[in-house]
Amino acid sequence: MQTKSILSLLALASVPLASATGNNGNGKGSGKSCSHKGLDWYAKKAGLKYFGAATDSPGQRERAGYESAYPKYDEIMWKSGEFGQTTPTNGQKWLFTEPTQGVFNFTEGDIVANLARENKKLLRCHALVWHSQLAPWVEAKSDWTKDELREVVVNHVTNVMNHYKGQCYAWDVVNEAFNEDGTYRESVFYNVLGEEFIELAFKTASKLDPKAKLYYNDYNLESPSPKTEAVRKLVKELQEKKIRIDGVGLQAHLIAENRPTLEQHKAAIKGFAELGVEVALTELDVRLQTPANETNLALQKEGYYNAVSACVQVDGCIGVTIWDFYDPFSWVPFVFEGEGAALLWFEDFSTHPAYDGVVEALKEGRKGKGPKAKRFIA
Ligand code: XIL
């Protein structure tokens, strides 16, 4: 993972912009008045199961600096009522959970899982089989036999899921297995096992925690494309083979200047929901070319509005998670040169115009069509 210096991150984060946004960032709570109910409240009113924010364990956040912001951050994250759900951004990944073959470590993942339990937040668990942030030992060996790698996958999924058994509303079982053109991504798993690795992961997961919904999760699934078709095909194949898959996660790492329309979002979500699986926006953020200004923040607001409104309007879309909520802790500036300010809270804890776009989308609900069908929110 490419990282940038703290200095450049600070430079980026100092953009904020109470002035550009007209928001006074009053420094209290989430910067909202007492009568303000919070995004999760509005989401539930709109028929969603949750509106959530992913978060990192403090140890992982340290690379961004900003320790002095933690109390305020924690208050919004856990106490404000803005979020009813969370996902650990890093701690449950293979790199942390099985750094050495057969040696499991749940320290990082447990920090967020425990905070979620203490603060009564729903927990989405993330991610079991992924080519990235994989422990180096998995890729270091070039001559895995199929049997050996099958055992590695089964052992990993089994140990991690058993550790978190009963705690996860959902598990991202396989993450990012496809290329943009719908072909399978080259990875150690695909190269050794072929398509079978996905089946194996889901089959294994299905036996371990009956309460956890099993998701396939990927990016660029927010508009119909060869990639969405490939994921639809995968869902159908698993269903035909009677292998449990309960959901498709649309990461929704969007770009303000190139955001999908409301109709594109709705078409993509429907394409999955009509297969009988639930859909969630699992890692929503809308990055922009920094510095942020009135123009790109307005595009970002539209980007958030379109995504959230589509989820509210399509039956089967059950919730939205933003990938952290506070700009200084976003992954974006670390990975995308020149881009940032992708979340809903600026460095000074004032909110982006996009925050109001999300509230609007949630408040509008289904545009006169009544609440979402009960069967999807039970
Ligand atoms: C990101 C984290 O937010 C970063 O802290 C980390 O350095 C890299 O991974 N898709 C995913 C997430 O499924 O796990 C990624 O999270 C973002 C892209």
Instruction: Give the pLDDT confidence of 87-136 residue by residue, as tens digits.
Output: 999 999 999 999 999 999 999 999 999 999 999 999 999 999 999 999 99
The minimum-distance atom of ligand 1 relative to the CA of 172 is 13
Determine the pLDDT at residue 220. Answer: 98
Q: Does 24 score more than 50 pLDDT?
A: no
**CA–CA separation, 271 vs 265, rounded Å?**
10
Determine the pLDDT at residue 179. Answer: 98
Determine the pLDDT at residue 369. Answer: 63
Model confidence at 61, pLDDT cuts 50, 70, 90, reads: confident
Q: Does 21 score more than 90 pLDDT?
A: no
Q: Does 375 score more than 60 pLDDT?
A: no
Which of 55, 94, 133, 285 has the most ligand 1 atoms within 8 A of CB, as the residue to mutate? 133
Tokens representing 165 are 């058994």
Determine the pLDDT at residue 128. Answer: 98
Is the CB of residue 90 below 6 angstroms from any atom belonging to ligand 1? yes
Nearest to 53 by CA among 33, 90, 28, 82: 82
More confident of the two residues 160 and 373: 160
Determine the pLDDT at residue 22. Answer: 32
Determine the pLDDT at residue 155. Answer: 98
- 238 phi/psi in degrees, rounded to 5: -65, -45
Determine the pLDDT at residue 32. Answer: 60
CA of 1 to the centre of ligand 1 (A): 9
Q: Which amino acid is at 186?
A: E
Determine the pLDDT at residue 313. Answer: 97
Q: What is the mean pLDDT of residues 19-33?
A: 39
Average pLDDT, the chain: 90
Nearest to 342 by CA among 276, 297, 278: 297
The minimum-distance atom of ligand 1 relative to the CA of 130 is 13
The minimum-distance atom of ligand 1 relative to the CA of 175 is 13
Tokens representing 92 are 């449950």
Residues 6+ apart with CB under 8 A from 186: none
Which parts of the chain fold into alpha helices (H)?
A: 6-13, 18-21, 39-45, 58-61, 70-74, 94-97, 107-118, 136-140, 146-163, 188-193, 196-206, 226-240, 262-273, 294-313, 332-335, 353-364
Q: Is the Cβ–Cβ distance between 171 and 213 less than 8 Å?
A: yes
Model confidence at 377, pLDDT cuts 50, 70, 90, reads: very low
Q: Is the Cβ–Cβ distance between 294 and 256 less than 8 Å?
A: no
> Backbone dihedral region of 85: left (phi > 0), alpha (psi from -120 to 50 degrees) or beta?
beta
Is the CB of residue 321 below 6 angstroms from any atom belonging to ligand 1? no
Q: Does 20 score more than 60 pLDDT?
A: no
Nearest to 283 by CA among 85, 11, 102: 85
Is 283 one of the annotated active-site residues of the chain?
A: yes
What interhelical angle do 226-240 and 196-206 show, nearest 10?
50
CA of 370 to the centre of ligand 1 (A): 36
Model confidence at 34, pLDDT cuts 50, 70, 90, reads: low
Q: What is the pTM of this model?
A: 0.91
DSSP 343: S
CA of 161 to the centre of ligand 1 (A): 20
Q: Does 37 score more than 60 pLDDT?
A: yes
Q: Does 49 score more than 60 pLDDT?
A: yes
Model confidence at 374, pLDDT cuts 50, 70, 90, reads: very low
Q: What is the mean pLDDT of residues 213-218?
A: 99
Q: Does 251 score more than 90 pLDDT?
A: yes
**Tens of pLDDT, residues 262-315:** 999 999 999 999 999 999 999 999 999 999 999 999 999 999 999 999 999 999
More confident of the two residues 69 and 22: 69
Active-site residue among 176, 278, 302, 347? 176
Model confidence at 190, pLDDT cuts 50, 70, 90, reads: very high
Measured in whole angstroms, the distance separating CA 208 from the mean position of its chain's CA atoms is 23
**Tens of pLDDT, residues 134-147:** 999 999 998 999 99
Determine the pLDDT at residue 72. Answer: 97
Nearest to 190 by CA among 102, 131, 249, 140: 131
Q: Is the Cβ–Cβ distance between 282 and 272 less than 8 Å?
A: no
Instruction: Determine the Cα angle at 300 with ends 344 and 373, to 5°.
Output: 75
Determine the pLDDT at residue 172. Answer: 99
In this structure, what is the dihedral angle of CA atoms 113, 231, 135, 210, given to the nearest 10 degrees?
Answer: 40
**CA–CA separation, 16 vs 25, rounded Å?**
10
Place of tokens 């002095």: 68
**Tens of pLDDT, residues 342-371:** 999 999 999 999 999 999 999 998 875 666
Instruction: Determine the Cα angle at 330 with ends 174 and 292, to 5°.
Output: 130
CA of 101 to the centre of ligand 1 (A): 22
Nearest to 60 by CA among 92, 13, 16, 83: 92
56, 115, 317 from 120: Cα distances, Å: 17, 8, 22
